[in-house]
Amino acid sequence: MTVGCWRALVLVLLYLAQPQARAEPLNLAPGDQSRPLTGHLAFLPDPIGQRGFEEVRRLPESAFVPLPGDLSAGYVDGAIWLRFVLIRDPGAPETWWLHLGPRFIDHFDLFAPDPSTPATYLHHSLDLARPWTEPHDPAHAGLIPLRLPEGSPQIFYLRIANATALQARLELWQPQAFIHWLRLESLWQGGYLITALIIVLMNLFHWYNLRDPVFAAYAGYVASFALFMLQRDGILLLVVQPGTPLPLKLFQLATQVVLVWFAYRIFATLVKPERFWPRLASGWGWINRVAVGGGAILVAVGAFKVAVLTLWAWLLVMIAINLTLAGLIVARWRDRSALYFLLIFAVLNLGAVATLLANFGVLQGGSFLVDYGLIVGTLLHWVLIQMLLADIFNRAKREHERARDLALEAARHSEAELERQVAEKTRAISALGQRHETLLMAVGEGIFGVDTQGRITFINPAALNTLGYNWDEVLGQHPHALFHAHHRDGRPYPFADCPLSRTLEDGRGRHQEEWFFRRDGSLLPVAMTCAPLFEGTQLTGAVVAFSDISEQKVREVELLELANTDMLTGVATRRFFYQRLQEEIRRLRREGQREARSALLLIDLDHFKQVNDRHGHGAGDEVLRNFARLARQALRQGDLLGRVGGEEFAALLAAEDAAGALRVAERLRRAVQKSPFITQAGPIPLTVSIGITDLLDRDQAPEGPLERADGALYAAKRKGRNRVCVYDLLAN
């Protein structure tokens, strides 16, 4: 049984143990531009692929197993049926586009209710195994237009089958919003592929000049990797396939065969394990030839499912063995080439392994690591290549020194021989220096060199374009004073703290994140690598490589905000609320009585369990969201509201004593009492009980004030609920 079958079986057993769980309908509200169906899907396995639509339609809703996320079943025989319900709220748009991704799915059938005849279903189908007759049919991109009537729930059924990984992500889009998204996605993919093309051409150029096989292996690896991404993201399907009976699966798996081969060739040409273990290296090479050849044979005979499992499984094994061998070489012989292999390809392989695990159904699709791991790994991979270039320069200088010593030694034997050897070595060094300078000028990351005084002696065009300077404005200047003299908030940045200063002082390389200032004064977050330059044992300067990490910083802020926000109510999570409460306790301990005290409210919805029992968990969720909105209106702008339990909330009122907190709490209690919560199940009246306590300067941790507030809350419930109680220090 495949990994995907085990995953599907575990999901079925899990939800059979909770028969009350079901996939909630998706409500489309006015103003919605796109809505993912994540969390609103239920699935039904079809192991032999023989279930018909009418049979599936007659099955009860309980026969479908709710999906907690998107469909990610790995390599599964047969097909999968998906069921979902859409409700168009009053005022919401009538026309929507259903987008099904990824685009490499072999076959899907969507059965949608006919808006004019509700009992009739319309059939939309796509089968890539057949030649296409309509080149511009939008269904070929997994895009189906839908018309939804207002108010009534519409039940849809979707059957999906694929010869390889069975994954799917469904989203509803407004047409203009989808077109805008597709333009941005196309720009991103196009830029990425153009970058890959530049890398391939540049490395082929260096291979032609230097005749080093590692450049050819790297060019082949990037080319096959880019072609694989072109197919994986569906760009090839949209650009090449329409109107052409192209054997897409054969083309995809052929690309994977080439990718696996070049992944091995990079290891063989960069590490050169035959220097240490000749027999082991020869045997390992033949094993890879046999594995890749076997995969190619499976692809040629059309055994696609066996081929894809074999290729990806072997790629995982090969990655692990390559990294292990390189690690052993570094540990035993301190070999620099093996160390570079570990540094350069370990980061890239993390993204590749994440993609492979997603293909096997182990990781859930749609996560940042799965969707962008390969791309981010590639970008980090380029940064590490800059370190390799700096080392190439150091090796060129050492080669120059050895050539000079050889010329002096030859002078003792023959002046003619000396002139011949010096001329020959000079030509070789000059050609090598020109090639290395070409490499530095062509790379896309910013690079500049400094002397021992920290003055810029060289800078490449990428650095000038990123910082906004010209050559004459930079050469001879100090980079710290020019674009690194201040922190992000404007505080002075001492030169002694700069990583470049420390590298020039102790001759050790460094890599860390920093903030640069462009010529126009705008901030630029960068990943900065400083590598020392030596002539013999004497430090002669340093090389600095940096890359723009603005997008990474934006994503970090977004992820932090997502982690601190409760997904259901939009208020602070329990962890974040406790963290802020601890910070407020520390502030009070520092300032004592000099500042106004803060107060803590513990709020509980009375008899909330009856809401779930009578009206269902969907109505309960609506009540919690409505209460959170009402509570934020009742609290002050600077107060913090958090969800600390199922129906239990807490509020931190900064610079407010218990008396002021009592007024706020009473305002909230009255607002809840006189405003029944409007849900799809109808109006639901509720009350709240609230416990209040001051934060004391003797408090050490959140547990103290939380225990006092909980005691006051218990007193409010004991006295009949729908009331506010303040913790009495004297009485306790």
- The helix/strand/coil state of 301 is coil
CATH number for region 391-555? 3.30.450.20
Q: From CA 720, how far away is CA 732, in angstroms rounded? A: 21
pLDDT at 66 over 70: yes
Q: What does the alpha-carbon distance between residue 54 and residue 562 come to, in Å, rounded to a whole number?
A: 42
State the pLDDT at residue 242: 46
Highest mean pLDDT out of 238-252, 323-337, 464-478, 515-529: 323-337
Inter-residue contact 337 to 271 (CB < 8 Å): yes
Task: Classify residue 278 as exposed, middle or buried by CB count within 10 Å of its CB (0-12, 13-18, 19+).
Answer: exposed
Q: Which pLDDT score is estimated for 11?
A: 43
Residues 89 and 460: their CA atoms lie apart, in Å, by 57
Model pLDDT, residue 217: 81
Structure tokens at 695: 């934060």
Band the pLDDT of 228: cuts 50, 70, 90.
confident
pLDDT of residue 650: 93
Peptide bond into 102 cis (omega under 30): yes
Mean pLDDT of all residues in 599-613: 89
CATH 2.60.40.2380 positions along the chain are 3-173
Number of neighbouring beta carbons within 10 Å of residue 253:
24
**What number is the average pLDDT over the span 576-589?**
87
The confidence score (pLDDT) of residue 42 equals 92
Query: Mean pLDDT across the stretch 38-67?
Result: 87
- Residues 444-499 have pLDDT tens digits of 588 888 888 888 888 888 888 888 888 788 788 888 777 777 777 677 778 777 88
CATH architecture designation of domain 3-173? Sandwich (2.60)
Distance from chain centroid for Cα 685: 43
Distance, in Å, from the CA atom of 301 to the CA atom of 476, rounded to the nearest integer, reads 64
What digits encode the pLDDT tens for the residues 360-385?
556 655 555 555 666 666 656 655 65
CA distance 308 to 357: 13
Residues constituting the chain? 732
Please state, in angstroms and rounded to a whole number, the distance separating the CA atoms of residues 320 and 13: 33
The predicted pLDDT at position 397 comes to 53
Residues forming a β-bridge with 447: 545
12 falls in which pLDDT band (50, 70, 90)?
Answer: very low
CATH topology of domain 564-726: Alpha-Beta Plaits (3.30.70)
pLDDT value for 140: 45
Residue 68's pLDDT is what? Answer: 82
Residue 539 neighbours by CB under 8 Å, 6+ apart: 452, 504, 507, 532, 533
Local confidence band at 8 (pLDDT 50, 70, 90 cut-offs): very low
CA torsion, points 508, 514, 518, 521, in degrees to nearest 10? -140
Q: Could you report the per-residue pLDDT of 263-308, keeping only the tens digit for each? A: 898 888 888 899 999 999 999 999 999 999 999 999 888 787 788 8
Q: Where in the chain is the domain with CATH 3.30.70.270?
A: 564-726
Q: What is the pLDDT of residue 281?
A: 92
User: What's the confidence (pLDDT) of residue 595?
Assistant: 56
- List pLDDT tens digits, range 541-582: 888 888 887 777 777 666 666 677 888 888 888 899 999 988
Query: Which residues touch 123 (CB under 8 Å, ≥6 apart)?
Result: 53, 109, 110, 111
Residues of the chain with CATH 3.30.450.20: 391-555
The overall average pLDDT reported for the chain is 78
d(CA 481, CA 494): 10
Note the pLDDT of residue 382. Answer: 55
SS (H, E, C) 164-209: CEEEEEEEEECHHHHHHHHHHHHHHHHHHHHHHHHHHHHHHHHHHH
Q: Which tens digits make up the pLDDT trace of 694-710?
A: 888 788 888 889 899 99
Distance CA(264)–CA(377), nearest Å, equals 18
pLDDT at residue 10, rounded to an integer: 41
User: What pLDDT is attached to residue 347?
Assistant: 65
Instruction: Look at residue 328 in the predicted model and tell me its pLDDT.
Output: 93
3-state SS class at 250:
helix
Q: Give SS3 for 708.
A: helix
pLDDT at 517 over 80: no
**E strand or H helix that includes residue 333:** helix 304-333
Structure tokens at 446: 């910013």
Of the two residues 190 and 86, the one the predictor is more confident about is 86
pLDDT confidence bin for 158, thresholds 50/70/90: very high
Look at 620 and 421; give whichever has higher pLDDT: 620
Residues 6+ apart with CB under 8 A from 716: 689, 690, 691, 723, 724, 725
Q: How high is the pLDDT of residue 369?
A: 58
Q: Report pLDDT for 390.
A: 45
pLDDT of residue 277: 92
Dihedral sign from CA coordinates of 297, 303, 304, 310: negative
pLDDT band at 33 (very low <50, low <70, confident <90, very high): very high
What residues form DSSP beta bridges with 173? 34, 97
